[in-house]
Structures are given as structure tokens and as C-alpha cells.
Amino acid sequence: MPKLIKKLAVLTSGGDSPGMNAAIRSVVRTCAYHNIQCIGVYRGYEGLIEGDFKEMDARSVRGIINKGGTILKSARSKEFRTKEGRQKAHKHLIENNVDGLVVIGGDGSFTGALIFNQEFGFPVMGIPGTIDNDIFGTSHTLGFDTALNTVVDAIDKIRDTASSHNRLFFIEVMGRDAGHIALNTGVAGGAEEILIPEEDLGMERLVDSLNRSRKTGKTSSIVVVAEGDKIGKNIFELKDYVDQNMEGYDVRVSVLGHMQRGGPPSCFDRVLASRMGVKAVESLLEGKTNFMVGLLNSKMELTPLDKAIKGKTKINLELLRVSDIMST
């Protein structure tokens, strides 16, 4: 069966992340290296359903390794959640003689891929692309490292003005269910406190902590808050609480937003994407299916898709402790 693969398709799905283009490039070039054909699918599963395909060779992916976003575009597809949608998709793949599919995306995209395989026996392989780093089976998802640097750069800028004015800033970073971005950038940005969904600090402890740090002579402070944190309903309520319960603070809020998803990928993400693309294609060529490629202990490893979907990444407790010590 492995010998049958002569043509692969690749798509990007879900929220885009820096490094997706580098991964597409790697998939396409690894195909070229092994003399198999490669098709790019536009707009994720939407394009699969519509047969929005494009033949790609080594030249098609020139000059994209350093570009954010995805040249194949991405989308969320409702129709792919229906059997009819998936049947259309399968028909297009078969008509185009495609023998395997590489899906670059997150949890939701992998779930789609798994169901697709279960229904049609079509070989699929996942590459974890999301800035949130919330996928089991890899220490780093594509785009996480780049997003960290983007956030830290923004925190550095905000600190300039915070310390010029003795202000307290609440900075919201991405991470609806996971505090990885908040935790790492909080430590790297020298934040006094870091609020993450995995740990309920409680409003009072936050106020205590800020008061304590103020007593040591600190006149400006940064608190990094993950989108998904549950302390306040949202970051503006957090500000209101502090305004009402703490004296003498000039509190500001900054929501970093979508710029966290863009920008040229970092060296780390480009190298990771290149390695993942090679591993994904070669695993399909070896006859494997239903796996996600990942970085574990500095090596490329495969994790079954169902494990990658169900498994829960844990917050680095050591890092939480480092954060506490650093805000001494």
C-alpha cells in the first residue's frame, strides 16, 4: 500500500499562524524530492469540498518561507461537518488521483481529518499549526514561538510608557483555553502578575500582590492576562475592579489582538515547519495514517490523531514558580 502514493494534497485550516507557509513549502518540496506530485487546496476543507485545487511544484513555493499567513488561505467549514460535505471532498480527491492529505491546523481540523479517514479510509497526516500551543503531542505548535516574540515586543513598548507614567497595565494576550502565551510572555516581559485559565488566582490575591509590589517601590506594573482567564468576565472588568478597590493607581488596558497571528515566522518556527513537512510527507509515504507530527524532546515524533485531539497539554508548573520568584 505505501507504494501506491503518487500524489498528495495539502491544506491549511482553522486560525492561521506564522510558519504555515513554511510548512506548505516543506510539504511541496519533500514531494518534489521524492518525485511525487503535490496539490494545494485553497481555504481548508471549504476548498476540498469545492475542488479548489492547484498543482504545486518546488517553484510554486519560492519566497514564502518568511511570510506570515497562508498562501493557501484558511477557513472554517460548516459543510465539512456534514457527511455530504465530506463525500464531495472525497470525490474531488479521488477524481484528482490524490492518495493522501496533509492537514495543517489545530484540534478542530484534526477532528475533521480523523472522521474523514474513518469514513473513507483516506490517508491523513496532521501538522499542528496554531499560536496557542495547546495541542498534545508536540512541545511547540507552529507559530507559538513567533507569537511569543510579537507579544514580548509589544510588552516592551508598553513598559516604556508605563514606567514613564507610573501606570498599571493589564495586557490581554491570546489563548482562549490555554495560558502558554501568557505564561511565557509574562515571564519574558517581566510582568508582576500573570493571569491564566489554568490557575484561578482570585481577585483578592491579585490586589494583594500588586499592593505588595508597590510597597517595594515599584511604581509601574504590567499584568499579562490570557484571553481565557476566568477571574473577571473580561479584562475591562478587571480594570474596573482595581480602579474601585485600589488607590492611587492609573490603570490602563491593552488588548493585543490579531497582530499576534501575523508577521514573518521566527527562525525556530521556520525550522520546525521545515522538519514537520518532511516528516509528514515521508510518514504518508511509509504507509502511515492518522498521525500528527510533533516535536518531542527535540525530535520529530508521531502521535495518533485521536490522542492529539483528546490529550490535554499541561501548563509548565516550573515556569509558574519561576514567575513568582522573578516578581520578588
Numbered residues of the known binding site: 15, 25-29, 76-77, 106-109, 130-132, 159, 167, 174-176, 190-192, 218-220, 227, 252, 258-261
Q: In terms of CB distance, is 92 or 270 closer to a copy of itself?
A: 270
The three cell numbers of residue 13 are: 485550516
Query: Do 91 and 53 form a contact (C-beta atoms < 8 A)?
Result: no
What span, in angstroms and rounded, lies between the C-alpha atoms of 186 and 194?
A: 6
Judged by CB under 8 A, which stretch of 19-27, 48-56, 89-97, 116-124 contacts a copy of itself?
19-27
Among 267, 311, 314, 317, binds a copy of itself (CB under 8 A): 267
149 binds a copy of itself (CB under 8 A): yes
24-83: contacts with a copy of itself (CB under 8 A): 25-26, 29-30, 32-33, 58-59, 63, 65-70, 73-75
Among residues 183, 95, 98, 93, which one has the least CA distance to residue 144?
183
Of residues 168 through 187, those in contact with a copy of itself by CB under 8 A are: 169, 184-185, 187
Distances (CA, A) of 229 to 37, 86, 200, 224: 45, 35, 8, 10
> Catalytic annotation on 99?
no
- Comparing CA positions, the residue from 55, 151, 36 lying closest to residue 100 is 36
Binding mask of the shown chain, residues 221 to 240, with x at each position contacting a copy of itself by CB under 8 A: --------------------
Residue from the set 113, 127, 152, 292 that interacts with a copy of itself by CB under 8 A: 152
User: Considering only residues 51, 252, 301, 306, which one is a binding residue for a copy of itself as defined by CB under 8 A?
Assistant: 252
User: How far apart are alpha carbons 239 and 237 in whole angstroms?
Assistant: 5
- Output 23 or 114, the one with its CB closest to a copy of itself: 23
- What distance in Å separates the CA atoms of residue 123 and residue 118, rounded to the nearest whole number? 10
Q: How big is the site for a copy of itself, counted in residues (CB under 8 A)?
A: 83
92 lies in the site for a copy of itself, by CB under 8 A = no
Name residues contacting a copy of itself, limited to 102-131 (CB under 8 A).
none
For residues 39 and 253, give the distance between their C-alpha atoms in angstroms, rounded to a whole number: 45
Please state the residue numbers annotated as binding site for Mg(2+): 107
Check residue 18 for interaction with a copy of itself (CB under 8 A): yes
Cell of 10: 495539502
Residue 288 found at the interface with a copy of itself (CB under 8 A): no
Residue in 99, 100, 40 with CA at minimum distance from that of residue 74: 40
Q: Which of 55, 84, 119, 160 binds a copy of itself (CB under 8 A)?
A: 160
Residue 248 C-alpha from the chain's centroid: 38
Quick one: DSSP state of residue 316?
Answer: -
Task: Kindly give the interhelix angle for 20-33 and 267-285, rounded to the nearest 10 degrees.
Answer: 40
Among 3, 215, 233, 299, binds a copy of itself (CB under 8 A): 299
Q: Which residue numbers are catalytic?
A: 132
